Amino acid sequence: SIHPAIDSSFLNYCDMGTEHTPILPDHDYLHEIEVDLFENNDGDDIIDVLPCHFHTREGMRITSHDMLVDVVMKLKEAKVKESQERQTEEECSMTEDGSTVCTTNQDTHDDNIELHLYAVPAGRQFMFAPSYVGEIFDLAYLDGEVPKPISLKVMSLSPKVFDVFNFFDKEESKDIVDKALNEKKESHRIKRSSTGASGYNVIDTRTSENGFDTHGKTAQKIKKRCLRVLGFDEYEESFTDGLQVLRYNKTTAYIPHMDWIDDPSKSSPHDYESAKLGTNRLATILLYMSDLKKEDGGETVFKHTWPAGVAEEDRVSRHDALMQLRESGDADFLKRDSWEETMVADCRSRLSVQPHSARAVLFYSQHPNGEEDTSSLHGGCPVLHGEKWAANLWVWNGVRSGYPGAPMRPGSVVEQESNPGQLTATFRNTGRDPKFEKVDLYFEDTLWGDLSFGSQLHSVNTYEGHVWNIKRRSDKVILRTILIGTDDEQNYTV
């Protein structure tokens, strides 16, 4: 634990103590900082403190001084370009005699460069820190890794909800739905949705259908993209659930719930206390694959949050929304006073997200310190007309339940989930062949990570038939293609 003498210091923020620092896969690589508590240099009061990691406002992790300099230089170049564009702009006005007079703008703007760096405690994950609704986060640093430039627009501050533009496209959307419809495995196929920390438990207040895509090619790309958007500099399969694919037919819905898993009965050996040493769902990215009009329902509603931009005196209460719904006749086929009818009223009065094909939305289920964010209570609104397809990906703050290295409750028995067909492949560069001096590892055409001389090995969860490529960085030429075989553990070196 951190010494009381530096309880209020920045170092204490970075190292939250042994009882509040989850052990992540890179924990052994953290370099502790020696701190002399009383600066007397006698060596008697020196303690070791875990460091923060640092990210830009947009989530890019800064891992070296050279990287920081590069970020600053790019900001400077952008500032100079913006200043030059302002200086060339002309303002024209009409004089009394009817002639036009134009003048060139004189740049009076402040050319100082402003860089915001966000410190994240050891064992914790970066989270976007919005200041106002409508704020834009342009993730330009991901250009080249993603098909189109990705940006986020803030929809709510509490909970933190974002529209994510260009996250996926309609072709990927179709692939996800087709894979779900053709899935034959009992554990993965589309069927009545269940809930709970463990087991298959059907409840009356979740009437949708769902299935899981854990290893499809499009699902793998989406999962990798998701972690990059969230500020992870390396992909960790154990930090994600499979892509959950959802189908809502007319009248089906899911009552407001938390994605953060609560296990009050301690039925699972996993430690879900994410504010301490446990891990739990940190963030959710929702993917919509259907176009539904406002009167069609099917929104995702955040029950505790009012719509942005609506003045307090213009807010609609649940009672008034319910009366308006009944007068409209839009949901007459729902039983009066049922949870479904009441939910439609909430969907029309609280913050809700309307489904559009290839729309993506991000929200967080935890606060930065790992505590559950109860304001993220959300639900799938009843579909009133048509059919709704959607998917979601849950990202955890550390190794999720069922994977090696997952935190366990004291005295519990370690259990490992079985993912049928899942294999482990390791890729390593020996540093011996000059041809592979500067190369990258790709899952098909999706960049996975650096595999150059001196890089860390990559251990990934994959499946038989998956294709991995090693490409030369300079021109993206494929130097080696690896087809995954049937062995449970496979090692590849170049």
State both tokens at 163.
């529209």
C-alpha span between 220 and 342 (Å, rounded) = 37
pLDDT of amino acid 306: 95
Output the six-digit token pair for 156.
């709510």
Is the bond into 420 cis (omega within 30 degrees of 0)?
Answer: no
For strands 422-428 and 300-302, give the pairing: unpaired
Name 201's Cβ contacts closer than 8 Å, sequence gap at least 6. 194, 195
Residue 407 near residue 273 (C-beta atoms within 8 A): no
Q: Please tell me the distance from the alpha carbon of residue 233 to that of residue 24, in angstroms, as a whole number.
A: 14
Two tokens, residue 313? 């005196």
Identity of the residue numbered 39: E
pLDDT, tens digit only, all 494 positions of the chain = 445 555 557 888 899 999 999 999 888 888 888 877 666 555 567 788 899 999 999 999 999 999 999 999 988 888 888 777 766 666 677 677 777 777 665 555 566 788 899 999 999 999 999 999 999 999 999 987 788 899 999 999 999 999 999 999 999 999 998 888 887 776 677 775 555 544 444 455 556 788 888 778 899 899 999 999 999 988 888 899 888 999 999 888 888 999 999 988 787 899 999 999 999 999 999 999 999 999 999 999 999 999 998 999 999 999 999 999 999 999 999 999 998 999 999 999 999 999 999 999 999 999 999 999 999 999 999 999 999 999 999 999 999 988 888 999 887 765 545 555 677 889 999 999 999 999 988 877 777 778 999 988 888 878 788 889 999 999 889 999 999 888 878 999 99
- Residue 225's φ and ψ, nearest 5 degrees, are -60, -40
CA distance 4 to 19: 15
Give kind and range of the element (H or E) at residue 481. Answer: strand 478-483
The structure tokens listed for 62 are 């800064």
CA atoms within 13 A on the CB side of 31: 1
138 vs 145: CA distance, rounded Å: 14
- Residues 115, 306: Cα–Cα separation, whole Å: 32
Contacts for 97 with CB less than 8 Å, ≥ 6 apart:
none
What's the pTM value of the predicted model, to 2 decimals?
A: 0.79
H/E/C letters for each residue in 210-254?
EEEECCCHHHHHHHHHHHHHCCCCCCCHHHECCEEEEEECECCCE
User: E strands, 347-403, where?
Assistant: 351-353, 359-364, 378-380, 388-396
Q: Which two three-digit tokens encode residue 453? A: 């001389």
Type and span of the H or E element at 120? strand 117-120
Question: Kind and range of the H or E element at 467?
Answer: strand 467-472
Cα first-last separation, the chain: 43
Q: How far apart are CA 396 and CA 94, in angstroms?
A: 61
DSSP assignment of 407-433: -B-TTPPP-----TTEEEEEEE--S--
